[in-house]
Amino acid sequence: MNDVTEAVEGYTCPAQRALRHLDAFLADPMCGQCFPCALGTYEARTRLESMTRGEGTDDDVRVLERIAAAVLEGSKCRKGKDAARFLAEAIATPGFGEHAAGVCQDRECRSLTTYAVASDICVRCGACKAACVNDAIFGEPQQAFRAGYPAFEIRQRRCERCGECAAACPHGALRATDVALARGRSR
Amino acid sequence: MTNPVSLSIDGREVSVERGVTLIEAAEAAGVHIPNLCHLRGMKGVGACRLCVVEIDGSDVPATACTTKVKEGMIVATDTERVREIRRFVLDLILSMHPPDCMTCAKAGVCNLQRYAYDLDLGDSSFTRKTPGHAVEEANPFVRRDPDYCILCGRCVRVCGSQGTEVLRFHGRGLGSKVVSGTGSPLEESDCTFCGNCVDACPVGALLQVEVAKRGREWQHTKTRTACLACGSACDLVVSTNDGQVVKVGSAATAGDEARFICAIGRFGFEGQRGHMRVSRPLKRVGGELLETSWDDALSLVAERMLAAAGEAGIIAGGSLLNEDALQLKKFADGVLRTKDYDTTVSLYADSGVMLTPGGDLDAADLIVLVGLSPDQWTRVFPALDAAIRDRVSSRKAKLLVVHGGDPRIKTAASIVLAGDEVGSLEQLCRAVIDKGLAAPPEMVEALAHVTPSADARNAADLFAAADAPLILAPAALYVAAANLALLKGGAAAIPFEANARGIARAGLEGEGKGFQELVQGPSPVLYAIGDLPLDSRPDTGFLVVQSAFMTELAGLADVVLPAAAGLESDGSLIDALGRVKHVRRACEPAGEARQHGEIFSALAEAMGVSLSEVESPGGRFVEEGAPGFARFVRRSEWDIDPATLIDTLRRSVVEGSRLAWLAQLQRTDAA
């Protein structure tokens, strides 16, 4: 079970933690001997994948709650019951249900998050550009003898929403937004 | 019941044997607990979790297939709490199972369909999963579609417990799949195509290949009968639709693990309507066999038989039913007035041996096989092989093999005594006597010169430790083997044909010429009845063959009388272990064929005698009680190879059905 605990280290988002946990559980400790656990955890993973991709609905949350309860009650051994308990705790954690509305508060579900440069704050220092591993930031660093260049911009198609730029920005000019909000999606 | 336990199941008080599981106890109380993976008679695995029940005093639901009964237990099998678990599991299974009950051949007898209906589940509320596995349908017997598989493992366990050990799981959880051997097609594995996995499958993942549309399960008429293909005379359920046989299965209750029937019993039925079948009387005209009427054929035969005036001979096969055999006895004694009649039984036994008691495999905790090689793969007593392997694998019995050759069954044996069987028996008996078991003085004297080998002494330990050993031997070795039963347990002679014991009781054995003498002839008329191991014409002036099939022998006859085949006959038989079994007509005889007994009456009538007025000969009875000591000898005149005999007898059935494919496959493998 060590792999399973290690798999969720470094994640705060309850949906991500539940997904990583089930991925690791299905990859190794799950023995497949009894139906509720073998079929239920598989279904739960499918639903979590959809939620972390931003395609989740309130129905997914209800189904996940049902799976957690039924696997806890019906599975044969402790491994299945432990997986069900972990899932139940994740679902009960604040922020989980918001995924159905397209919001990941912890900014760990990349499909739910988008990054943008606030042009009024950006000083074009270049720290974000240096931090970006995908070369997704467009713009020329500030030089003392030049003026009139626009603020930095993120090329969304290249951006993998890792959040490294936001961490690197000394001025807080890089902001994470919910995809749902950015697209004006309403639920 | 020696030690009953009382409990309450859904408010019904029930008293059952100690050690049984809740699922079995509920069955006894008339309560069905839903399940998909349980097999009656086999240890529960608790995989499907449908059988969960609530027990008073316990916080969590328990699986009824793995929970043993306890005195005073109060069990509820249909509470909302357990229904929710069942709904959850079924809903998940339905999400990976194709929703096409409307075209599925299993509809009506599918457990998944039944429980989904009971719990009001339609299309799954979970994500649909479509694995898209390839369908296996290269062989003409078993169609495997893994997409329908719900991974209950019943087929794997049935195949394993009967010792065939072909099917197994590959992978784990939802990604797993039932495969044969190393994932090869069935025909490249050790599969014998017995089809018991098909019977065990609760859904439509394993189906019998349909040659034509056979109708839905609920349109079938089901008849319980017995198979006539060999001495095991397995119980069958025959499904007919519109008077045609469409399916044959094991008669054991659904979900029962002791369901073995072999490919011959399951798929041989097609031979009854195959190209080898004979369904109208034939007579020889100018060197050719031409169709004729019953009246013509019977008057022709009657005329020849009357002219032979007591010199006519009769030979019959060992699968003739009791009632037919008694009619034939009356016909021979009272109408034909001949002493020259005999059956194929005399090729491997005599009535003395066939009138000894049978044996109870279920009661035995040690099975001693002497000179017998039951084998699923060559289909010589396949059901005995499977039954023994099952008892060994479930630790109900141990196996001791005494055999001079190299039988495959020895892989299931605790100890094998190789070398000459009579010599091994002498050593074994001596070693058992040395362990202090009481023996008749003649036996002790006869064994005075024998020194048991180390193997024989080990076998004697096994024998002495057993409570109820059962010794099985062919007639040739029965007399010597039965000596072992004088020390402990019982012994049974195993004949090779379905009703050898019944024929002995009917006394179908004239005082005149025996089978071989009758075949050698000469005789004015020879009346050959049933399945006979003969390929050339016996020396006779006029050969009458009465058979369901156009065998080589029938092709050489002067008159052929079409007889009803096994599934078209009514009557009874006594199987190799001495059990009486009913044979019931599942379908009307093909064309103008008639059952053997009817033909004897009609022929008697044509000869001017009413068979009902002939005095009944009365049967002979089995000698109860232990026989005395007999010398350790082999009756070598009865030493025939059962494989060759059985193969010859069922050739017509095999060649007239899809079993021909299997026979071809085996010839290719052997080459």
Q: Chain A within 8 Å of B52 (Cβ-Cβ)? A: yes
The confidence band for A186, taking pLDDT boundaries of 50, 70 and 90, is: very low
Say how many Å lie between the first and final Cα of chain A, rounded.
38
CB contact under 8 A, B46 and A34: yes
CB contact under 8 A, B92 and A35: yes
Other C-beta atoms closer than 10 Å to the C-beta of B439 total: 18
> What pLDDT, on the 0 to 100 scale, is given for residue B670?
73
Q: Chain A within 8 Å of B127 (Cβ-Cβ)? A: yes
CB contact under 8 A, A63 and B125: yes
Higher pLDDT, A54 or B51: B51
Find the CB nearest B173 among A26, A67, A76.
A26
What integer best gives the mean pLDDT of chain A?
Answer: 85
Give me the mean pLDDT over the A42-56 stretch: 91
Bond into B522 cis (ω within 30): yes
> What pLDDT, on the 0 to 100 scale, is given for residue A173?
84
Q: Which residues of A touch B (CB under 8 A)?
A: 26, 30-36, 38-40, 42-43, 46-47, 63, 66-67, 70, 73-76
Phi, psi angles (nearest 5°) of residue B356? -85, 160
> What pLDDT, on the 0 to 100 scale, is given for residue A181?
67
> How would DSSP label each residue in chain A?
-HHHHHHTTT---HHHHHHHHHHHHHHTT----SHHHHHHHHHHHHHHHHHHTT---HHHHHHHHHHHHHHHHH-SSHHHHHHHHHHHHHHHSTTSGGGGGT--TTS--GGGEEEEE-TTT----SHHHHH-SS--EE-PPP-TT---PPPPEE-TTT-----HHHHH-TT--EEEEEHHHHTT---
> What pLDDT, on the 0 to 100 scale, is given for residue B258?
64
> What pLDDT, on the 0 to 100 scale, is given for residue A29?
81
Nearest chain B alpha carbon to A63: B126
Q: What is the mean pLDDT for each group of 10 consecutive residues in chain B (671 residues)?
A: 87 92 93 92 89 93 94 94 94 93 90 95 90 88 92 92 91 84 85 92 90 81 93 93 91 70 92 91 93 96 91 94 94 92 93 89 93 92 93 92 94 93 93 90 90 93 94 93 91 93 92 92 93 92 95 94 95 94 95 96 93 80 72 88 87 88 82 69
Chains A, B: CB contacts within 8 A come to 74
> From the centroid of its chain, how far is CA B557?
32
ipTM: 0.82
CB contact under 8 A, B174 and A40: no
Find the CB nearest A42 among B46, B84, B173.
B173
CB contact under 8 A, A42 and B174: yes
What stretches of B160-220 adopt beta strand conformation (E)? 167-170, 177-180, 206-208
Contact list, B49 vs chain A (CB under 8 Å): 34-36, 74-76
Contact list, B50 vs chain A (CB under 8 Å): 35
> What pLDDT, on the 0 to 100 scale, is given for residue B468?
94
Q: Is the pLDDT of residue A185 over 50?
A: no
Give me the mean pLDDT over the A147-161 stretch: 81
Give the strand pairing for B490-493 and B469-473: parallel
